[in-house]
Structure 1
Amino acid sequence: MPLIAALAIATVLLAPAPASDPPTWVFFADKRVNADELEAALARRADELAPRTMRRRVRVRGDRGVDVRDLSPASQYVQAIAATGVRIRTTSRWLNAVSVEADGAQRAAIAGLPFVAGLRPVARAQRADHAPLGTAEPSPSAAFGVAETQLALLGVPALRECGLTGAGVVIGVQDSGFSLQHQAFAGLHVLASRDFVQGDDVVADEPGDGEGQDRHGTMVLSLLAGDDGDAYSGVAPGVSVILAKTERVDEEEPYEEDLYVAGLEWIEGMGADLFTASLGYFDWYEHPQYDGKTAVVSQAAMVALANGLVMFTANGNEGPEPGTLIAPADVDGIIALGATNLDGVVADFSSRGPTSDGRTKPDLLAPGKDVWVVRPGTDNEYLQGNGTSFATPLAAGVGALLLEAYPELTPGEMLALLRTTASHPDAPDNDGGWGMIDGYAAAGLYCTCTDGDGDGHFASACGGDDCDDGDPARHPGAAEVCDGRDDDCDAVVPDGEVDGDGDGVLPCAGDCDDADPARRPGAPEDPDDCIDSDCDGEGDLACAPTTGGGSDTGESEASTATPTSGTTAADEPSTSSGASDSGGGASGDDGCACSTRGRGAPLGLLLGLAALRRRRPRSRVSSRPQ
């Protein structure tokens, strides 16, 4: 049995004003790139971004996937800032800004530069120490060990039973650091890691870090992706992760939002599908500024969401008073989490909404009080902790399972899906939003139906919308092809695909007269009947046009002829190209008077145009789950 202990994760506290000058954001007025240079610069940036990032962006945005926001701030501007003697901390493409360490005189000099749009302090916050609560002895006899209850509240066991683990999903996790010493991380797939605090790739504790730097991130990561057999499990142990260390834990060194922005931009550019962070900021901001647009981290989150990155964040631990949420939980479209205890009751410490512009927050609830996590610094021990910091990775894990089931979910679709299937979708409030996440309900037909042909649509027999679950070419949204079937499952076979005369040839396949079974491609031709029986657009030789003598005036007269087959003039109109003085048409040896004024469009071309008109595409409705 694993060793068990207990721990409470205290709330994020407002940092006291530091003795030294705080870091400062410097925002630039433009990117200093002209129209001639822009195209080449965007192409270079597209090549630099991970292919997975570009595919996500193009799919969600519907454009080329890059724009001027993806370009670095102008190097001339950055050099001019550095020339004032400041230390440049971070650079943001999305915000077109740098963060610097500067004194008052340097800030004044920078503010006077013509290309500087404005300055703003870098927001700070700080965690309190982790206070131990004692020990506990749960009974880890269930399939997921000590984590069974917290996972069951979210419907995770049912999702895991139907095969979902998060496989194929990439999650960016941003926190204080990560130690992978514990055996629950033995099978974790880490794609990349970066330390934005010390500027290297070491995300575990290292010289220069505060004591316990990597503790919080380690516990968060275990809730998301830990796996220790029947002793413990996170929600989605099959995911791949990108790890960013962006938080300082020293009591004297509050963590700053510029590192958060740097980490978020890096994770998005590395190809993550989903992002989770349990950090939030409220120093320098007043409640009227929690409108989802003002805080710098909120502005960065808006760009990430627009790029298709699904984002989960903590709503804060400042409850129970109204309006106590933190940034970037105030962003419209980000999935902000409140916390409950293991009975599903909202925790007192969980921050409440609304945002300053009246929107409901948090969005959803997940367990965040007395939840089980790995004990940092050990190989096989576990402990309990509290905080929306812990509710967030549990919710993000459910998001990963849903992305495995439905890989093309956009941020907006993920939020809508989780809201509409949560515990009280019809009565959201600012204590718990739309309620406790129900992952099993959100998965919909994935766990209760079949997709036998692997086309992403479930069989109609079990409630899906696939009219033929044995043929991957037939499903809602599929292109109609000339096969006489309802390929897009709209219960309508296109007109051109109906064999009206039963000759085995469809109009869309070249049947030029679907009312006459004797006329079809490959049918025998009667050279004397003036009928295009084989639909090749060529007339009979006996009906070839002839040229009559011109009249004295040079003008032509039209005349019609009746074919010997009995076809009426209305069926086969023709005109004479050269009438005699008497107006008679030239007659061939077969007695067929088929004179013409001039050759019109070939019959095959006319039939082709008619077929195209019949085959104009219809609008189709996506079957993506909502």
Structure 2
Amino acid sequence: MKNRFWIVLSVILLTSALAAQQGSEKLTPGMKARIADNSPGTSHLVWIYFTDKGDISVFKQGDYTPVSPKSLERRKKVTAPGTLPYDESDLPVNSLYISRLEQSGIQIKHISRWFNAVSAYATAAQLQYIQSLPFVKLADPVALLKKPARIQEDEPVSLLKQPDGVYVFNYGNSFAQLNQIKVPEVHNLGITGQGVTIAVMDAGFNRLSHESFNTMNIIAKWDFVNNDPGVGDSTDMGYGGHGTQTLSTIGGFKEGQLIGPAFSSAYILAKTENTDSETPIEEDNWIAAAEWADSIGADVFSTSLGYIGFDAPYPSYTWQSMDGNTARITIGADLAVKKGIVVLNSAGNEGFHSTQNTLGAPSDGDSVIAVGAVGSTGNRSSFSSVGNTVDGRTKPDIMARGSSVTVASTSSNTGYTTSSGTSFSCPLAAGVAALVLSANPTLTPMQVRDALRNTASNAAAPNREMGWGIVNALSAISYFVTPVEGWSMRASYISGRLNLEWQTTSESNNYGFEPEYSFDRLNWQSAGFVEGAGTTMQARVYNFSILLNTTASKIFVRIKQIDLGGSFRYMNEIEIDNILPAEFALLQNYPNPFNPSTRMKADIPEAGNLNIEIYTVTGERAMVLFNGAVAPGQFSADFTPADLPAGIYLARAVFQGVSGQKVSQTTKMTYLK
């Protein structure tokens, strides 16, 4: 009996020891070091990773979608045919796991679907407790990152006069920075960023009232520092002047003053940095913003905040971490690219070092487009960070103007100034990426990167200072050979038929065309297929018609062009809002019953003559409401029977179209007094 007692006790002690050992493995060395360097009651900002997402079978059934229709449509470009455009990383974090943490007093800051984790504030005692939770996988400090250096003007402002009569727009003092990257030539083609959604992540946007933003389409805003919808200056933490300037660089529009490359794009604004003090930046803000912008449907990320390591005592990343796989913010940026988003980031303002890189995360990502800065002469700006990554990849990727860039004022709604840094070369390059996507909406992020890099000024000999060189918007938009050139399209809807006509000036390896239609611009349906001409230098005209009876007020149409290799692109969408009825119909008057008047309506399928007469229930004609020629569409006329007694009346309509068709219809209405 005594021996049995000691055996049981030994098993209990061994089990406890193993449990403690396994639990201790949930704290990374970095987490242990941070705890050891601080007092026991210190609240640490940590990542807490979970082992799984619980029962996810419910999310694989029915019509569940974790993101917006626009996001799903974008993801199809990078998803294998026949597979869902989302994976487990898009599914929500298990709410029960989060509740258990909150019950222990841990304060949740951000929830990350992509990492299956939360960022949270926890004490050493609370971290010790969560090691016993079976669903907790790991606890690691949130990296604390240093704000990029702010650059004083490193060269005199160089203004280049815009030639008269050459370009569609008057760019004012912003002409030089756009001319260097061939943006005005692209604008002349009518490509201004339309159809593209850009997420700009910065330190806040304090002057959205500036005149250069008057026509900007801002579809969403969120402050991830203070967790509220206000991205400007208020009683919250942070000053938003930097974001105002970078946003004006990419998408501002005020002729004669400042024009951004992608002024027709839609914008999502995320405040991700607290500028109030010298405390470190927290990487979880950027990751939360990235997941949010992805869910809305962003096509391009532009981030002018290159994050680098902070000095002791703050544990963080170093230049040796710039290997594309260490910094969580870099991993998050690469995940965004995997989900179909083009990600551009400032290379950094840390200047040149002969033996190591001076990059800031996430510009070290292998799928992230790192943007360095040049001056007006095209030479690298002295502050622009250099590569290469620790694993030997060439960085930066591309360059754009970063010295003395014309930007919106942060103190006046009508003022303008200049600013310097890779903070401004990045939005210029991101604007060009949006132009490439606007011209080629089916390109994947890596194809956009290839188009930007392989048409840049130093593409023949990329290096750690200039990368592939200064971006060339005009060459980039046409880098991927288009199978069909010079196409145009017309569309109409008449008598229940959708009619399309389009033409091409030349075709190369063109398999054919697939017309598509939609009633809401989200759900598209194929209308059929029209065989292409293969390869020809001759102009061709195509016609297509399909019976499509609908009561919708609008129809959206587009044509999918497919080449012989299976690649495809779309012509610009056309909206048909003057839909003609398929047949004549006298509609019920409204209101009914009525007093003192009511409106009569009729659907007119073709031009012709319409006669509407009002009769009593005994068959006596009370009046002629209308008699005359009508055009296709919907006819309306008001009936005000001021001199008639109350009662029931019949409206009889006779329509005779130009085709000879004659139709008669009657409806009943009640007049009250």
| TM > 0.5 fold call | yes
Equivalent in the alignment of 2:196: 169
Equivalent in the alignment of 2:235: 207
The alpha carbon displacement at 1:109 in A equals 2.5
The alpha carbon displacement at 1:130 in A equals 5.4
SS of residue matched to 2:254:
coil
Equivalent in the alignment of 2:461: 427
Equivalent in the alignment of 1:335: 369
SS of residue matched to 1:400:
helix
The alpha carbon displacement at 1:206 in A equals 1.1
CA distance in 2, matches of 1:137, 1:359: 34
CA distance in 1, matches of 2:148, 2:358: 18
- Pair 248,21 (structure 1): closer, same or farther in 2 beyond 3 Å: same
CA RMSD of aligned residues (A): 3.3
CA distance in 2, matches of 1:405, 1:162: 10
The alpha carbon displacement at 1:618 in A equals 11
Query: Runs (4+) of structure 1 moved beyond 6 Å?
Result: 17-20, 134-138, 445-449
The alpha carbon displacement at 1:28 in A equals 1.0
More strand by share: 2
Equivalent in the alignment of 1:217: 243
Aligned partners of 2:149 and 2:350 also within 8 Å: no
- Pair 251,445 (structure 1): closer, same or farther in 2 beyond 3 Å: closer
Aligned partners of 2:53 and 2:116 also within 8 Å: yes
CA distance in 2, matches of 1:482, 1:88: 53
1:94-124 deviation digits (Å, cap 9, x = unpaired): 0000011122222232334322221221122
The alpha carbon displacement at 1:139 in A equals 5.6
SS of residue matched to 1:326:
coil
TM norm structure 2: 0.64
The code of the aligned residue for 1:451 comes to G
SS of residue matched to 1:465:
strand
SS of residue matched to 1:489:
strand
The alpha carbon displacement at 1:452 in A equals 2.5
SS of residue matched to 1:147:
helix
Q: How does 1:284-363 map onto structure 2 within 5 Å? A: 284-321=316-353, 322-363=356-397
1:533-586 deviation digits (Å, cap 9, x = unpaired): xxxxxxxxxxxxxxxxxxxxxxxxxxxxxxxxxxxxxxxxxxxxxxxxxxxxxx
- Pair 160,263 (structure 1): closer, same or farther in 2 beyond 3 Å: same
- Pair 619,383 (structure 1): closer, same or farther in 2 beyond 3 Å: closer
- Pair 22,373 (structure 1): closer, same or farther in 2 beyond 3 Å: farther
Q: How does 1:497-516 map onto structure 2 within 5 Å? A: none
- Whether 1:157 aligns to 2:184 is yes
SS of residue matched to 1:355:
coil
Equivalent in the alignment of 1:86: 106
**Number of residue pairs the alignment of both structures matches:** 467
CA distance in 2, matches of 1:274, 1:443: 15
CA distance in 1, matches of 2:98, 2:242: 34
Equivalent in the alignment of 1:524: none
Q: How does 1:57-136 map onto structure 2 within 5 Å? A: 57-62=75-80, 63-127=83-147
CA distance in 2, matches of 1:137, 1:243: 29
The code of the aligned residue for 2:55 comes to V
Equivalent in the alignment of 1:465: 508
CA distance in 2, matches of 1:65, 1:246: 27
Equivalent in the alignment of 1:536: none
Aligned partners of 2:509 and 2:564 also within 8 Å: no
The code of the aligned residue for 2:111 comes to T
CA distance in 1, matches of 2:85, 2:568: 24
Equivalent in the alignment of 1:51: 69
TM norm structure 1: 0.69
Match of 1:487 among 532, 554, 575: 532
Equivalent in the alignment of 2:277: 251
- Pair 473,70 (structure 1): closer, same or farther in 2 beyond 3 Å: closer
The alpha carbon displacement at 1:127 in A equals 3.1
Unaligned regions of 5+ residues in structure 2, if any? 1-36, 163-169, 310-315, 491-501, 516-525, 537-561, 571-673
The code of the aligned residue for 1:262 comes to A
- Pair 465,453 (structure 1): closer, same or farther in 2 beyond 3 Å: farther
Q: Which has the higher contact order (CA 8 A, sep 6+)?
A: 1
- Whether 1:384 aligns to 2:384 is no
- Whether 1:400 aligns to 2:434 is yes
SS of residue matched to 2:209:
coil
Aligned partners of 1:366 and 1:391 also within 8 Å: yes
CA distance in 1, matches of 2:229, 2:138: 32
1:36-61 deviation digits (Å, cap 9, x = unpaired): 43423x843x1x52110111112321
SS of residue matched to 1:163:
coil
- Pair 398,168 (structure 1): closer, same or farther in 2 beyond 3 Å: same
The code of the aligned residue for 1:216 comes to H
The code of the aligned residue for 2:221 comes to S
- Pair 115,343 (structure 1): closer, same or farther in 2 beyond 3 Å: same
- Whether 1:263 aligns to 2:284 is no
SS of residue matched to 2:47:
strand
The code of the aligned residue for 1:176 comes to A
SS of residue matched to 1:59:
helix
- Pair 458,353 (structure 1): closer, same or farther in 2 beyond 3 Å: farther
1:215-243 deviation digits (Å, cap 9, x = unpaired): 01000000000111112111111111011
Structure 1 range deviating more: 350-359 or 91-100 = 350-359
CA distance in 1, matches of 2:131, 2:143: 19
Aligned partners of 1:450 and 1:459 also within 8 Å: yes
Aligned partners of 1:150 and 1:367 also within 8 Å: yes
Structure 1 range deviating more: 110-119 or 307-316 = 110-119
Equivalent in the alignment of 1:451: 486
The code of the aligned residue for 1:264 comes to A
- Pair 280,123 (structure 1): closer, same or farther in 2 beyond 3 Å: farther
The alpha carbon displacement at 1:368 in A equals 0.7
Aligned partners of 1:177 and 1:217 also within 8 Å: yes
SS of residue matched to 2:173:
coil
Equivalent in the alignment of 1:39: 60
Aligned partners of 1:459 and 1:467 also within 8 Å: no
- Pair 473,87 (structure 1): closer, same or farther in 2 beyond 3 Å: closer
CA distance in 2, matches of 1:311, 1:404: 16
- Pair 281,109 (structure 1): closer, same or farther in 2 beyond 3 Å: farther
- Pair 128,317 (structure 1): closer, same or farther in 2 beyond 3 Å: closer
CA distance in 1, matches of 2:132, 2:70: 41
The alpha carbon displacement at 1:136 in A equals 7.6
CA distance in 2, matches of 1:280, 1:418: 20
Aligned partners of 1:126 and 1:251 also within 8 Å: no
Equivalent in the alignment of 2:213: 185
- Pair 129,407 (structure 1): closer, same or farther in 2 beyond 3 Å: closer
CA distance in 2, matches of 1:308, 1:105: 41
1:159-217 deviation digits (Å, cap 9, x = unpaired): 1111111112111111111121211111111111111112111111111223xx11010
CA distance in 1, matches of 2:159, 2:376: 15
CA distance in 1, matches of 2:159, 2:228: 41
- Whether 1:622 aligns to 2:542 is no
CA distance in 2, matches of 1:27, 1:82: 15
Match of 1:238 among 247, 255, 264: 264
Equivalent in the alignment of 1:494: none
CA distance in 2, matches of 1:33, 1:397: 42
1:51-99 deviation digits (Å, cap 9, x = unpaired): 1011111232132112211122212211222222221110000000001
Unaligned regions of 5+ residues in structure 1, if any? 1-16, 492-616
The alpha carbon displacement at 1:259 in A equals 0.7
- Pair 24,458 (structure 1): closer, same or farther in 2 beyond 3 Å: farther
Q: How does 1:509-528 map onto structure 2 within 5 Å? A: none
Equivalent in the alignment of 1:147: 174
CA distance in 1, matches of 2:181, 2:293: 26
Aligned partners of 2:154 and 2:420 also within 8 Å: no
CA distance in 2, matches of 1:103, 1:413: 46
